[in-house]
Amino acid sequence: MKRIILLVLLTIAFIPVWAQATGKVTDKSDGLGVPYANIYLKDIKMNVSCDAEGNFTLPKNPGKKMIISSVGYEKRTIDIPADSYFEVTLKSQETGLQGVTVKGRRARYRKKDNPAVALMRRVIEHKKTSHLELLPFYEFTKYQKITLSQDNVDTIKHKRKPWYIEHIEKSPIDSSRLILPLTVDETVTKHIYRKSPHRELDILDGQRSAGVNKIFQTGEMVNVMLKEIFQDVNIYDDYVRVLQYPFPSPIGRTAISFYHFYIQDSVVYKGDSCWQVLFYPANQQDFGFKGQLLITKDSAVQVKYCELVIPKKSDVNFVDNMNVVQSFAKLPNGMWVLDRDEMTAEMKLLAFAPKLVVTRKTTIGDYTFTDENPPRLLRGRAPTKEMPSARIRGDEYWETARTMPLTKGESNMDYFVYRLTKSKNFGWAQLVLKMFAENFVETSKPGHRSKFDVGPVNTIVSHNFVDGYRLRLSGRTMAALNPHFFLKGFGAYGTDSHKWYYGTELTWSFNKKENSPFEFPVRSLTLYDTYDLMSPSDKYLLNNKDNIFESFRTQSVRQMYYYSSHKLEFNYETEWGLSYKASVNIENDRPTGDLHFIPVAGIPDAQGNIPEVTRIHTSEFSATIGYCPNQSYINTKQRRYPTNFDSPEFSITHTMGVKGFLGGDYNSNMTEVSAYKRQWLGSWGYINMHVIGRAQWNKVPFPLLCMPPVSLNYFTDVNDVTFNLMRNMEFLNDRYVYWSALWDLNGKLFNRIPLIKKLKWREFIGVKGMWGHLTDKNNPTLHPDDPVLFQLPASSHIMSNQPYWEGIVGVHNIFKFFGVDYVRRLTYKNLPDVDKWGIRFNFMMTF
């Protein structure tokens, strides 16, 4: 009886299955399935949803009414047929593509059963199926134009300057506003990709730059900065790098968790039926985009059009509005490629400065999939090459290579700059602006390239314990005098020490330079001859030690020494990241101030004092190998600054001192190994990580031991590799390991606190540590009769097995450029005369 009852129940349970019909909702125009269409069974009041391919299953009720609907399609009502399988077609409501405003919705957002999320999962899964990198070879030509303009120009103020008025044109963002083009940069690049053996190469075939940047000798840095800040966008990457930050791509691996997606409509774009998908960050103050995607309604689900906008509520600095528009086309071989890319951005760097507009327009074409290049073209590892005539192309070349016309202002840029330089008081204004912007005073006439510069200006007056006030005059030659030979020097005088100091550098650059010898790649031979004064901690300064701001220290630096150095250095950098450096240095050091060289085996005089060593003489050979792939730089008058902090950096240096060679007093061998890496954490910011190891392998006096990296300034660099609370020469070791992890959270926590989030402050957390050891052979307390060792300074200590730690908690991006850090000493807190905590400040303008 139980078996019979069970069989009857199972039969009843499966009756609905036997009485079901299946089918598919398709697009009438192309026959493709309509994803996630909705079916309403009117008579039994039941809803049925289609899957991603438009398939459905519903109870078999012939003659009953069913209503089929989907966003972007005309609603349709039909009778359920008697067939077990049937198809229903929907007609698309064709609309042209219009601008879209993305607004937050009050309804709670859900990922589960969200058709937009399901569609985006398919897009992300399929995006690699059309990558060009799947092919064995391809190449294309890219034309790009970047223009920087002043926004909201008032023509009334300049009505007496017709040449000025003629240069003004309508804004590409808002035609009711007027802009003044300031710079324009055009490039024509051929990109080549080979899969095996792997090789990617960009060949610069033509470059043309014009505008007010030509007034400055380092004016090319404007174009370099614009290209670095507004890099080419590739939404197929997981992260899109814009404004020097990686923004999550709307089709990246983290897109589903970072963005909210909504299917807005069904549109026809350039002949293809597409889904219109809107998206914006889950937290609109995070570094992310809002915008729209047009996704083809076929099995490939490819992005045909995208629009990326930085939300006004985002935590990005200086950019009021930014918009990127891209369109994609299908090649005959089935691959989808970018064919149009336009970017516009409105920027305001300072409250009192005018707003700027940046436009970047790019076209890509001439795709080739057969390698017909000569074999020598792809040799080497450099990611870029420049044709010899790239920067001197004539008008005929640009008329052919330019794929879009120049505006009136862009085409008349040279004439505008000429009239600007001839205007009243321009020479004086240029001199003052250059002095503050470049820290040097040029000696050339307005409109001419400077052959000799006086500066840096901020080193004219400084102060230290031995010299008191220090006066300095310095200068150097530029490439306009000779692009291979450079001379740099200074003369200084200490008002208390009554001593004169000097320094000279003679540099021969093997490759021709545009302005300065330190331009990448450096390939030079330099001879140094210097007599000067410094403290042991000065070797870790990022700025010139005579910088006026270096005169303000957190502690009195009384331990100093005079040094006389003669050095010859060879430096060679490859274009793909590997660098070599070799040098020989002959140096004499004489202690002064509170620094003393007292031998442990010295014999006391009649007064019981041990005679001091008045100088030490070293003769050293040094060699360095470094590797930093894909690094790029911005050149200023003073030095070059790296722009791509994402590149890992490794180096190893060995310095060998030879006793008896050119008067050397000691044998020594110092090895240093360093590594750097930035790790991005998505919307949680990034962590900069450093590891440095040093070891002195020989028995040497304490000036030749491993000095810990110490910064004694109130104003610090947020990413430097120095300790803020350690005293000068507080620990002396013959080997140590330094490490640091500095985490910039990009306002991830502050953005979620009401009121605080409006300030756009950003959190900063960091730790720095060091483990060091002084071996017995270099411990003077264990060898009281050793003729080599010196007594350690009274303020120096020997580390135990406990590491030294510092913790940092800070608030950055105050007023968009200022930061305050609280630094805490975590170990060795009971040593005499140490600071257990401190406040440090930093300036950093970042987006």
Q: What is the DSSP letter of 579?
A: E
pLDDT of residue 755: 79
Q: Give residue 367's Cα distance to chain centre.
A: 30
Rounded Cα–Cα distance for residues 260 and 384 (Å): 38
What is the per-residue burial (b if ≥16 Cβ within 10 Å, else e) of 635-667? bbbbebeebbeebbbbbebbbbbeeeeeebbbb
Beta strands in 697-817 (DSSP E): 735-744, 762-773, 804-814
Q: Report the Cα–Cα distance between both ends of the chain, in Å, rounded.
A: 79
Q: Kindly report which listed range (31-45, 470-484, 485-499, 616-630) carries the lowest average pLDDT score.
A: 31-45
pLDDT of residue 315: 66
Map 14-43 to HEC letters.
Answer: HHHHHCEEEEEEEECCCCCECCCCEEEECC
Rounded Cα–Cα distance for residues 107 and 179 (Å): 41
pLDDT in tens, 76-130: 888 888 777 888 888 866 444 444 444 444 467 788 888 889 899 988 888 877 7
Query: Residue ranges per domain, the chain?
Result: 2-90, 115-419
* pLDDT of 368 higher than 60: yes
617: Cβ contacts below 8 Å, ≥ 6 apart: 586, 587, 588, 663, 664, 665
**pTM, full prediction:** 0.76
């006026």: which residue's tokens?
548
pLDDT of residue 355: 85
pLDDT of residue 310: 79
């330079």: which residue's tokens?
513
| Mean pLDDT, residues 542-557 taken together | 82
pLDDT of residue 4: 36
pLDDT of residue 431: 67
Q: What is the DSSP string of 263-317?
A: EEEEEEETTEEEEEEEEEESSTTSS--EEEEEEESSTT--EEEEEEE--TTSS-S
| CA quadruple 286, 290, 296, 302: dihedral sign | negative
| Mean pLDDT, residues 390-400 taken together | 88
Query: Nearest Cα to 680, choosing from 354, 180, 238, 297?
Result: 238
* pLDDT of 1 higher than 50: no
Residue 303, strand partner residues: 295
Long-range contacts of 176-181, Cβ-Cβ distance < 8 Å, separation of 24 or more: 177/151, 177/152, 178/152, 178/153, 179/149, 179/150, 179/151, 179/152, 179/153, 179/357, 179/409, 180/149, 180/150, 180/153, 180/409, 181/147, 181/148, 181/149, 181/211, 181/407, 181/409, 181/410, 181/413, 181/416
* pLDDT of 621 higher than 90: yes
Rounded Cα–Cα distance for residues 632 and 614 (Å): 45
| Mean pLDDT, residues 804-820 taken together | 89
Rounded Cα–Cα distance for residues 537 and 708 (Å): 8
Classify 756 as helix, strand or coil: helix
Domain 2-90 has CATH 3.30.2270.10: no
Decide the pairing of beta strands 199-211 and 384-386: parallel
**Mean pLDDT (the chain, rounded):** 84
Rounded Cα–Cα distance for residues 847 and 844 (Å): 10
* pLDDT of 28 higher than 90: no
pLDDT of residue 838: 92
Q: Using an 8 Å Cβ cutoff, are 283 and 248 in contact?
A: no
| Mean pLDDT, residues 633-655 taken together | 84
* pLDDT of 156 higher than 60: yes
Rounded Cα–Cα distance for residues 329 and 304 (Å): 7
pLDDT of residue 608: 66
* pLDDT of 619 higher than 70: yes
Stronger pLDDT, 670 or 246, i.e. the higher one: 670
Token pair for residue 784? Answer: 């009281």
pLDDT of residue 711: 86
Rounded Cα–Cα distance for residues 720 and 687 (Å): 13
pLDDT of residue 128: 75
Long-range contacts of 76-82, Cβ-Cβ distance < 8 Å, separation of 24 or more: 77/42, 80/21, 80/41, 81/21
pLDDT band at 489 (very low <50, low <70, confident <90, very high): very high
| Mean pLDDT, residues 325-353 taken together | 82
* pLDDT of 213 higher than 70: yes
Stronger pLDDT, 811 or 57, i.e. the higher one: 811
Q: Using an 8 Å Cβ cutoff, are 724 and 769 in contact?
A: no
Rounded Cα–Cα distance for residues 416 and 399 (Å): 21
538 φ/ψ angles, rounded to the nearest 5 degrees: -65, -20
pLDDT of residue 732: 93
Rounded Cα–Cα distance for residues 587 and 563 (Å): 7
* pLDDT of 768 higher than 50: yes
**Residue 116 parent element (H or E):** helix 115-126
pLDDT band at 410 (very low <50, low <70, confident <90, very high): confident
| Mean pLDDT, residues 713-733 taken together | 87
pLDDT in tens, 450-463: 899 998 888 999 99
pLDDT in tens, 240-277: 887 777 888 898 888 898 899 998 888 888 888 888 99
User: Which amino acid appears at position 231 of this protein?
Assistant: Q
Query: Nearest Cα to 739, choosing from 836, 822, 828, 804?
Result: 804
Query: How far is the CA of 363 from the CAs of 140, 149, 279, 337, 646, in angstroms?
Result: 10, 21, 26, 11, 27
pLDDT of residue 294: 92
pLDDT of residue 408: 86
Long-range contacts of 402-408, Cβ-Cβ distance < 8 Å, separation of 24 or more: 402/143, 402/186, 403/143, 403/363, 403/365, 404/143, 404/145, 404/361, 404/363, 406/145, 406/184, 407/147, 407/169, 407/181, 408/166, 408/167, 408/169
Q: Using an 8 Å Cβ cutoff, are 447 and 214 in contact?
A: no
Q: What is the DSSP string of 310-330?
A: --TTSS-SSEEEEEEEEEEEE
pLDDT band at 826 (very low <50, low <70, confident <90, very high): very high
* pLDDT of 605 higher than 70: no
Q: Kindly report which listed range (319-323, 393-397, 436-440) carries the lowest average pLDDT score.
A: 436-440
Q: What is the DSSP letter of 533?
A: E
pLDDT band at 789 (very low <50, low <70, confident <90, very high): very high
Rounded Cα–Cα distance for residues 24 and 55 (Å): 4
Rounded Cα–Cα distance for residues 530 and 505 (Å): 9
- The burial of 35, by beta-carbon neighbours within 10 Å (0-12 exposed, 13-18 middle, 19 or more buried), is given as buried
* pLDDT of 318 higher than 60: yes
pLDDT of residue 301: 87
Token pair for residue 361? Answer: 């327009």
pLDDT band at 701 (very low <50, low <70, confident <90, very high): very high
Q: Using an 8 Å Cβ cutoff, are 207 and 390 in contact?
A: yes
10 Å Cβ neighbour count for 676?
Answer: 19
* pLDDT of 347 higher than 90: no
